[in-house]
Structures are given as structure tokens and as C-alpha cells.
Structure 1
Amino acid sequence: MILIAPQSAEHLYWMGRYIQRAESMTRLIIELFDKILDENFDEAKTFYEKLGIEMSYDSAQMFLRKTVFDLEYASLCDTVNSARENAILTRSHLSNRMFSRINALYLAYQKAKEERTVSLYWLEGTLKELDSIWGNFELSLVEAKEAPLIQLGKVVERMDLNIRLYDSIEAALLDVEKLNSIAEKVRPNHKRVALSSSNRYKTLQTINSVFGALTTTHES
């Protein structure tokens, strides 16, 4: 295991997951907003059912406000807040620039929440901030011991959402080699993951158990 405190490792991993979740869900919300307006008013309800969330709205704008501010534990505001909380808990492991970017995104969401105003243009702007966060990550943590833990969170979250939202085990398979490569940086004797099952629940369990296996398996 990489020489870093287990609790810090977990916070870095979840920071990576929450940042990726914010990015993936922002792109999805933008896409669903357009579909609600132009194609199928109930499109978002189907997608959120896959996440176990009952979604209701009277307009596209109401859908936007709800997903950004009001879904308990699942709003973009809550997701960004969770990313920042994990960043605070691992502050000493992050570059000043990366932490500042995460904090800036959090402050932008807090201001929007206080004013209760959100637009598609504003939401698209937050994607630029998320791109900057990942850009600073690549620039400042390429060889650092923390990098694989954050990268692991990023790829696990992407695989998880591809399966939950799109029932796409095939898309997850494209990331398996990357997942194994990152996991081997965390623990060289990592038992490589193979996704051969068409059972989505079994596949999700396998993907989401990787971090736990890396942090609890003892060296032989």
C-alpha cells in the first residue's frame, strides 16, 4: 500500500469520486434539460429512477433548480460540498492551486444557492471550473503518492455511473485496464479485476469493492 494514512487515502479517493460525479452529473443534467424542453418532458424521471431517486418537476427550470440545489444528498450542490469537505481533510496533500479551484467551485455553488438562481449558461460555466480542477491535478500530482488514489476514485465513479445510468457494462469494460493499472500503483500485488458478468449488480459490487480490497489486504 502507498505510504499514506488510511483515513487520508480514503478522503482522497472520495474526493476523486465526488469531483467526477459532479462533472458527470452536470453533463447529464444539461442533456436532460434540453430533452425536457425539446423531446420528452418525462425523460429525467426515467434516469433518476435508475439512481433510486423519485424525480418530479413542473417545468425544465424547476428540474434544473431541483437537481442543482434541492435533491437531498444527490444535488450538485451537495456533491460539490462533499468534494470540498474531503479536500479540506486532505489539504496538506493537495497543491494550493488545486485546492483553490475546488474551493472556488464550492463558493460559486453557495452563492447561487443563496440567490436561488441558476441557468443553463451558469451550469455550463461550472464545467470549465471542473476542467480546471482536473487540469491542476494532472499538472501538480502526476508523480505524487496521492495521485493514484484520486485517479482511482475518478475511474471507479465513471464506471459506476456508466452502469447505473446507461446499463453499459461495455463502457465499463473500456476502463478496466485503466482501473487495474491505477490500483497496481496503490498496491503492487493488486489482484486484477476482470468484468465478465452481465449481471449489473455483481459488476457494480466488484467495481466498488476495489478500494476496500486495496486498503485492507495485507502484504503476503
Structure 2
Amino acid sequence: MEQLLTAKVAEHLYWLGRYLERVESILMETVATFDEIIDVDKSAGKKLFKRLEVEIKYKNANEFLYEAVLGEHEANIYTMLGYVRENAIVSRAYIDLNAFGSIVELYEVLKQANNDHLDIDCAFLDKLSSRVSEIWGELSRKQERNISDYFIRLGKLVEKVDVHLRLKRDKSFSLVVMEEIDNIVLQLNPDAEFVPHAQRESYDTILNSINAKINKIIVEQ
């Protein structure tokens, strides 16, 4: 795991992981919510994005898909993937070459879709999800882990907890993921000390604790 990283590179690797996980999570939630809009609750899409602190408008399920992917707001998948690309460019020397190429290629697909005002359907979202899964595979296929890989992994796990709590899901899952976060933090900083968390604690308390750990590690790189 011997590898020297600047704080800047470590931060970009971390946010690469976070934004890529966010893209994957929003894609999954969007497909599930599309079905809910059709079958159960027409306002389900608005409720989903409100939990992500975004207000969206749509007239039907198909318009919801377009808003989720290319809508004019900061939580759309196109914007999130742009952030993945930006962080990958800065840290490209530390990530798999194929993964970097796949990130750039996928961003160009969405850029073209945005320029062409493409109609978005579930088949398009399935293709995006498959490509994101492939990128994760390319990022994690090495037999030996470097420090850079752990920062990407941390980003993925922290975002997983963040989204899970924002969507008001079972906290027990988040606490299990936090155990893995703590294990990685310990590998990067053996002197780190942790305060255990319980399900009764608030979203803000849990996320603030995680962010404090991450910031301490990145600053000390």
C-alpha cells in the first residue's frame, strides 16, 4: 500500500468515489421512482429529489426521467458525472487507465444526449447503470490495493451512507457501512480514535463524525 499522495490528489480521489456512487444511487432510485410514479404516486419523484434538497417539476413519468438525468438542477446525473470526470482528470495518474477512459466516454454520451435534447427512457438509464458498474469494476480489479484505492473506496462508502440516511432508510445498514469506513480510516491512520454510533443518533451527527475523520486523514496526507 506504499504510495505518496498530496492532500489535493487524495481529496479528488475521495470525491471521485463519492460522485460516482451518487450517480449510481440516483440512477437506481430514479428507475424505482419511475415505476412508483406510474403505479402508485405521481408526486414520488418530487419527494425523492426533495430529500436531495432539490425541487423539480414534471408532468408525467417520462418527464421525470428527463429531469433526473438532464434537468436544470445540481442533482441531475449529467452534472454529477461531470464532477466525476473533473476529479478523474486531476487524479488520472492514480486510477486505472481503462476506468479513466470509461468515465470520459460516459460523460460524452450524456453531453451528446443533453445537446440533442434526447428523450430519456428506462433503457437509456439501464445502459448508464451498466457502464457505471463497469467503471467500478475497472477501479477495483487490482489485486494489490494502493492508498489511492482506499480513498476512492472511502468516497463510495461515505456517499452510500449519506444517500441512505437522506432517503430515510434503515439506519442499521448505515452503521454497518460505517464499520467498514472506520476500518479503512484505521489503515490510513492507525492513531485514529472513534466514537461508536447508535441508531438513535441524527443524520447530521453521523455524517459530521464521518466527515471529521475523512478531513483529518486528507489533511495529514
TM-score in terms of structure 2 length: 0.92
Residue 138 of structure 1: CA displacement? 1.3
The answer as to 2:214 corresponding to 1:211 is yes
Relative to structure 1, is the Cα distance of residues 139 and 170 closer, same or farther in structure 2, using a 3 angstrom cutoff? Answer: same
CA gap of 1:159–1:2, structure 2 versus 1, over 3 A, is farther
User: How many Å apart are 1:14 and its aligned residue?
Assistant: 0.1
Counterparts of 2:212 and 2:57, CA distance in 1: 32
**Aligned counterparts of 1:167 and 1:206: Cα–Cα separation in 2:** 19
158-167 vs 137-146, which deviates more? Answer: 137-146
Q: Give 5+ residue unaligned stretches, structure 2.
A: none
Supply the AA of the counterpart residue of 2:146: A
Partner of 2:175: 173
Q: Which amino acid aligns with 1:16?
A: G
Q: Distance in 2 between matches of 1:48 and 1:142?
A: 38
- Measure the CA separation in 2 of the matches of 1:111 and 1:28: 23
Following the alignment from structure 1 to structure 2, what is the Cα–Cα distance between the partners of residues 213 and 87? 22
Letter in 2 for 1:28: E
Say which is worse superposed, 25-34 or 110-119, in terms of deviation.
Answer: 110-119
Name 2:84's counterpart in structure 1. 83
Q: Distance in 2 between matches of 1:17 and 1:44?
A: 22
Q: Structure 1: which 5+ runs fail to align?
A: none
Deviation string 1:50-99 (CA, Å, 9 cap, x unpaired) is: 22211221111111111101142211000000000000001111121110
Q: Which residue matches 2:5?
A: 4
Q: Give the fraction of aligned pairs with identical amino acids, expressed as a percent.
A: 27
1:216 and 1:149 mapped to 2: Cα distance?
A: 13
CA deviations 1:123-151 (Å, max 9, x no partner) are: 11111111111111111374122110000
Q: Give the TM-score normalised by the residue count of structure 1.
A: 0.92
Matches within 5 A, 1:15-164: 15-117=16-118, 118-140=120-142, 142-164=144-166
SS class of match (1:188):
coil
Q: CA deviation at 1:167?
A: 4.2
Aligned 8 A contact 1:11 1:86 in 2? yes
- Count the aligned residue pairs: 218
- CA contact 1:45–1:54 (8 Å) conserved in 2: yes
Question: Structure 2: how far apart are the matches of 1:130 and 1:203?
Answer: 27
- 2: CA distance, partners of 1:36 / 1:208: 34
Range 57-66 or range 154-163, more displaced: 57-66
